[in-house]
Structures are given as structure tokens and as C-alpha cells.
Amino acid sequence: MKRVLHIILLVAGLALNAIAQPEASWVERDYDFGVIKEESGKATCHLRVVNTGNAPLLIVKAQAGCGCTSIDYPEAPIQPGDTAAVAITYNPSGRPGQFSKEVLIFTNTAHKRSHLSITGNVIPTAATLDKQYPLQAGSLRISQQNIPFGELIKGQNKTQYLSAYNASTDTLLVHVSGDKPHLHPALVPDTVPPARVTALTAHYLSGHAPLWGLNTDTLTLTCEPLHQPSDTQAGSADIHVMAQVLENFDRLTDEQRKNAPVVRVDCDDRIDFGTMTAGETVTRTFTITNKGKDPLAIRRLWVPEDEGITVSADRMEIKRDKKATVTITVNTAQIDGELLNVPLTLMCNDPETPRQTIRLVGIIENKRN
């Protein structure tokens, strides 16, 4: 009988050991630092965990979402009923505005992984503010003045972003203007509390862009304080948007390429206006010939520095073996400096040469700046 009882107790003990498990019960899973100053340096919080299981709890590893967050945790086993703390440190250096970071804690429990989080709002130093938000519109600081979309195939859509920071002690009401058929801006949020960030989203629809090649637009950001305390200023700033809209030739069939237009110009890569007298108007011409089969469409004749220079063609579509005459007129009175040296860009629907540059050069005598 004693032997049977001993066996029963042994089996019961083994069963209890088999089901012994640690359990991580977190007293706090998140922590809000509130407002912290960048100049004060790193900020640390402690989140507590209790082992409510019946076996030692072991923190195996910890993982942060970025290098701005570091984690310190006990490596020794946490006995049943004991409490330990995980230290989470956030480095605010160069990171103005609101933040939210997640931390993963891996343990030897059945669930294995615990999610912790920290939040806060960083008041930047003047140096960080100037570096990360150099453009100013009253009390609103903006991350950049240009939004470059790069090259876009006609019909392609693209979205770009910039951020703006409320550097005042009052809530700012922010507005963006400049919406066009091909450019749609939006601000989220448009009511920005102190030391918070708003995002400007610019959505570009190249299929509606007015020009082939370079398109430039201006968005205007304006802000005004909600309560208008003395240290908060209203203001505005222009944001420049640029996109190169190009034609898509990738879908042409072999037959279409065989019949495609072929552009030829009779001026090589430059047109020399020679020596001009200040104040006079000088004209030069060149011809464009279509050596292909399908009609050649002149998409654009463009001089970026067009003050004092006009360019026109007597036709914008050229049939097979036909020509168009391009006339360039330079008004020297409107040209800065004594040297003429500007590029003329010809864009057309020749898939092999859709874009070429012809340089306009010359000397202006007796120029008074």
C-alpha cells in the first residue's frame, strides 16, 4: 500500500512540474513622457512586470523599432511572485515633435512576446529647428521649400510629402492653396497644437499636366494663431513643385517603331547669334524635318531662361519628308550680362530622340548692367 501511495505522489509531482509555467503580467505596458526638451538629453522610464506563474520568468531579448530607443532588462530569472523592471530610454537628439515607439520583449512564457510602447513630444533646440525646418511662415517651420517629383511618364501619378512644425505656444490654423487639375495638396492635420507636426501631401497627376517636359507650380502655406498670443505669428511661405513629364514609348510595337517619326534639325547642337549690339533685336531660324513615316509632333520648344527670348514654329505637326521653320528672337535689352548662353529644348514624339538640346550663344556689345 505504501508503495502504491509513493507512486501516486511521484506521478502527481511530475504532473505539477510538467505544467509549471512562468507568466509575465505587466503593471504598465505604455508610458507617456509628456513634453521633453531636446537639450535635456535622454529620457528613461521603467515598466514593471510581475511573474504570476509558477516557474522562473526569463527575459530572453528585447527589440526596439529604431536606434533612438534603447532597452535595459534584467538577465537573471524572475522568480514566481517577484517583480522586475524594464528600462526604456529615448534619445530626443535631432528628433523634434511627437513620437510613438514600440518595444518588443521576448520571454520564456507561452505567449513569448509582449508589446510595450512609449510616447512623448520633443521641444527642439534652436539649432535642430533651423536644420530640420529651415523655411519659416510666421510661427510655422517647414522642412523644405521644394517638392521635386522627378521624371514622370505621362499618365503616371505620384505623391510626395513634407512636414511643418508649430514652433509657437498657441495652436496654429494652417491652410494650403494652389490646387490645380494636375496637383492636389492636402494638410493633415490643419489644426496644429504647439510643438506638433503637420504633413503636407502633394498628389501629382501627370496626365493632366499642362506641358511636356518641365512643369513648375507653386503651393502657398499660410498659418494664423488660434488665440493670437504675443509670441505667435501669422505668416505664409511658397513651396515650389517641379516635375518632368515625359512620353511613354515602351508600349510601341515593332511595327509602330518602324513607322515612327524621325526628327532631324539643320543646326547641329548650337545656334550662334554672333556679336550683337545692346538694345537690338536679333532673329535666327532653323528647320526641323521629319525623316520618318508617321507625323512628327513637336511637343514643346522651351527656353528655361526665357526673359528676352521667344521661340515659335510655323507648324507643330510635320508630315513625312516635310519641314517646319523655327524662329528664335533675342531682345538684347532684356538679357542679363554680355554673354548669351542658354539651352533650347526640343521635345517631340520621335521614340529614338524625344528630347534634344540646342544651345543659343552670342556676345552682346556695349551692354550696361
Q: What is the CATH number of the domain that holds 214?
A: 2.60.40.10
Final residue of a structural domain among 123, 143, 163: 123
CB 193 within 8 A of CB 167: no
Q: Are residues 143 and 241 in the same domain?
A: yes
Give residue 363's pLDDT: 95
Same domain? For 117 and 205 the reply is no
Q: Are residues 229 and 259 in the same domain?
A: no
The ranges of the chain with pLDDT < 70 are 1-18, 229-230, 306, 369
Total domain count, the chain: 3
Q: Do 353 and 330 reside in the same domain of the chain?
A: yes
Give CA angle at 136 (169, 215), nearest 5°: 140
**Which of 69, 90, 123 delimits the end of a domain?**
123
**Same domain, yes or no: 170 and 269:** no
Q: Which domain range does residue 56 map to? A: 20-123
Residue 77, beta-bridge partner list: none
The whole-model pTM stands at 0.79
Cell 510602447 sits on residue: 117
Q: How far is CA 222 from CA 159, 172, 244, in A?
A: 21, 10, 27
User: 277: closest CA among 327, 326, 340, 328?
Assistant: 340
**Cell numbers for 227:** 488665440
In a domain, residue 4? The reply is no
Which pLDDT score, from 0 to 100, does residue 11 have?
A: 40
Quick one: 266 and 360 in the same domain? yes
| Structure-block grid coordinates of residue 152 | 514622370
**Last residue within a domain, chosen from 246, 274, 295:** 246
146 plus 111 within the same structural domain: no
